[in-house]
Amino acid sequence: MNRYPRSHIKTALVLASFLAVVFTMVPAQQSDTVRVPISLAVEAPAPVTEQTVLEVDQQVPWTDLTIKSGDNLSKIFQRLGLPAADLQTIVDIGSEVSVLVKILPGKKLSFQVNEEGILMGLRYQPSAFNTLLIQRTDNGFSAEQIQLPTESLTAYQIASIDEDAPSLYLAGKRAGLSDNIIMQLSYVFQWDISFALDMRQGDSFALLYEEIYVEGQKVKDGIILAAEFTNMGKTHVAVRYLDHGGRQDYYTPQGLSLRKAFIRDPVHFSHVSSRFNLRRLHPIHKKVMPHRGIDYAANKGTPVVAAGDGKVSISRQNSASGKYVVIQHGQQYTTKYLHLSSFGKGIRAGASVRQGQTIGYVGSTGWATAPHLHYEFLVSGVHRNPRTVKLPKADPIAASDLEHFHRETTGFLTQLAAIQGKTGYARARNSTPDANASE
């Protein structure tokens, strides 16, 4: 290898160092350029926060309108001269405003529109217990479901059966009771009293029940807390009890369940056209033919329910009975339902049914002069009068729960006793009830 002067070597080393510095600086500038987007991303704005509801002048009034039959929000917005774009923005909020898709005639919509004609708010109350509030925000509209506080007052009433009001329904209506409370009362005593057969002048009843209020206005009746019914000289008392498991039912003051294996009437609140009579003159054949059951006259299509739990043994049609169902309740009891217009869903031989389940509908098939249900009750194969036959009882309150039962029910029974001979309301304030209480 040729040898170079020392001065040349020094010059070469200086030049190499200079070039190294230059080449090192150039990539650094390129790297800074590549990282620019990353730097911008880091400096991007923070996530969007909740929308801010715009302040509205409290002097801007709410305008109420009643929804008409055939109305929808599109028609209403058009009628008020409000932009379709606002409606679309509201609808796009999603499931929170789904109730606005099917607004109901008779209910109210409230609008808040400022002086410039801009929609600032909308209110809709789909039920007595909640309100949908829509408000304009800085980015469209927001929706909020407002649950309204409820209040329960304990009310009471007494009534009697007489010539002017010969049925439970008429007596109840005369006393100012709602259809709901009258129906509840009939269900409470349906195992002991036939409200189609057993009403007599001089019968009477008293009851203690809840009324549900929202903002000082009654919105519906709640549940019956205690009731007393005197029928044909015999007094039946019932009190509501909520057990440790949250199951509600009605019992006598001694803790005996009012439930029994069979209800008295398989057709609810209907006029009885023919009672159990072994010497009845048949209306078609005009001769004495035993009537081993009870006829319930009712409109065609009225539901017929199973008197008790059991299994369908027959579900068919013939010339005499028309469409009929026979239910076997264990080894001892049988019930028959004749002249149906049609069978209930799934009612066929072998099907299990529960007490109160719809098994068919009143009709006039077979030997029938008008729509009615012919009902028979057999014990060990022998026809018995459904009105008077002794029925097996349900289990009473367990001995271990009796103390709790008496502690929970004594107050209701004391109030029920105190109201006898009085009318009006006993304003005993309760805790706020569930909004889904019976209507």
Dihedral pair phi/psi, residue 185, rounded to 5°: -60, -40
State whether 301 and 237 are in the same domain.
Answer: no
Provide the pLDDT confidence category of residue 284 given band limits of 50, 70 and 90.
very low
In a domain, 44, yes or no: no
Asked if pLDDT for residue 322 goes beyond 80, the answer is yes
Find, among 328, 189, 338, the residue nearest to 264 by Cα: 189
Span 215-223, mean pLDDT?
Answer: 89
- 142 and 166 share a domain? no
Query: Given 122, 147, 172, which residue is the final one in a domain?
Result: 147
Site of tokens 């929609």: 119
| pLDDT above 70: residue 266 | yes
The letter for the amino acid at 83 is P
Distance CA 437, CA 439 (A): 6
Residue at 361 is within a domain: yes
Residues 131 and 206 in one domain: no
Check pLDDT > 50 for residue 1. Answer: no
Does residue 2 lie within any of the structural domains?
A: no
Segment 176-183 shows an average pLDDT of: 94
Tell whether 365 and 398 lie within a shared domain.
Answer: no
Return d(Cα 159, Cα 256) in angstroms, integer: 25
178 & 122 share domain: no
Domain for residue 5, yes or no? no
**Shared domain check, 377 and 399:** no
User: What pLDDT score does 428 carry?
Assistant: 45
Same domain, 241 and 159: yes
**pLDDT reported for residue 393:** 76
CATH label of the domain that carries residue 340: 2.70.70.10
373-425 pLDDT tens trace: 999 999 999 999 888 888 877 778 999 999 999 999 999 999 999 998 645 44
pLDDT of the residue at 9: 52
pLDDT, residue 203, reads: 96
Name the most confidently modeled range: 42-46, 50-54, 355-359. 355-359
Asked, for residue 36, whether it belongs to a domain, the answer is no
Which of residues 147, 172, 192 is at a domain's end? 147
Mean pLDDT value of segment 16-30? 47
118 and 133 inside one domain: yes
Residue 81 pLDDT: 92
Q: Give 119-165 pLDDT, tens digit per residue.
A: 999 999 888 888 899 999 988 899 999 888 889 999 999 999 999 99
- Same structural domain, 225 and 279: no
On whether both 140 and 160 belong to a single domain, the answer is no
Distance from C-alpha of 162 to C-alpha of 142, rounded to nearest angstrom: 58
Query: At residue 241, does pLDDT exceed 80?
Result: yes
* Residue 7 within any structural domain of the chain: no
Cα–Cα dist 340/323, whole Å: 5
At residue 87, φ and ψ (nearest 5 deg) are: -60, -45
> What backbone torsions phi and psi does residue 194 show, to the nearest 5 degrees?
-95, 110
For the stretch 340-365, pLDDT in tens is 999 999 999 999 999 999 999 999 99
Q: Is the pLDDT at 204 greater than 60, yes or no?
A: yes
Grade residue 435 by pLDDT with cuts at 50, 70 and 90: very low
Angstrom distance (rounded) from CA 66 to CA 109: 6
- Would the CA dihedral through 66, 71, 74, 76 be positive or negative? negative
State the total domains in the chain.
3
Distances (CA, A) of 69 to 31, 65, 197: 70, 13, 42
pLDDT band at 290 (very low <50, low <70, confident <90, very high): low
401 and 338 within one domain: no
**What mean pLDDT is reported for the chain?**
82
Instruction: Look up the pTM and report it.
Output: 0.68
Summarize the confidence of residues 22-34 as an average pLDDT. Answer: 42
Note the pLDDT tens digit of each residue in 69-110: 988 999 999 999 999 999 999 999 988 898 898 888 988 899
Measured distance between the N- and C-terminal CA atoms of the chain, rounded to whole angstroms: 112
Domain at 241, CATH number: 3.10.450.350
State whether 276 and 379 are in the same domain. Answer: yes
Q: What percent of the chain has pLDDT over 70?
A: 77
The range of the structural domain enclosing residue 85 comes to 62-147
Give the pLDDT of residue 246. Answer: 87
DSSP label of 100: G
Q: Is 1 part of any domain?
A: no
**Residue 434 covered by a domain:** no
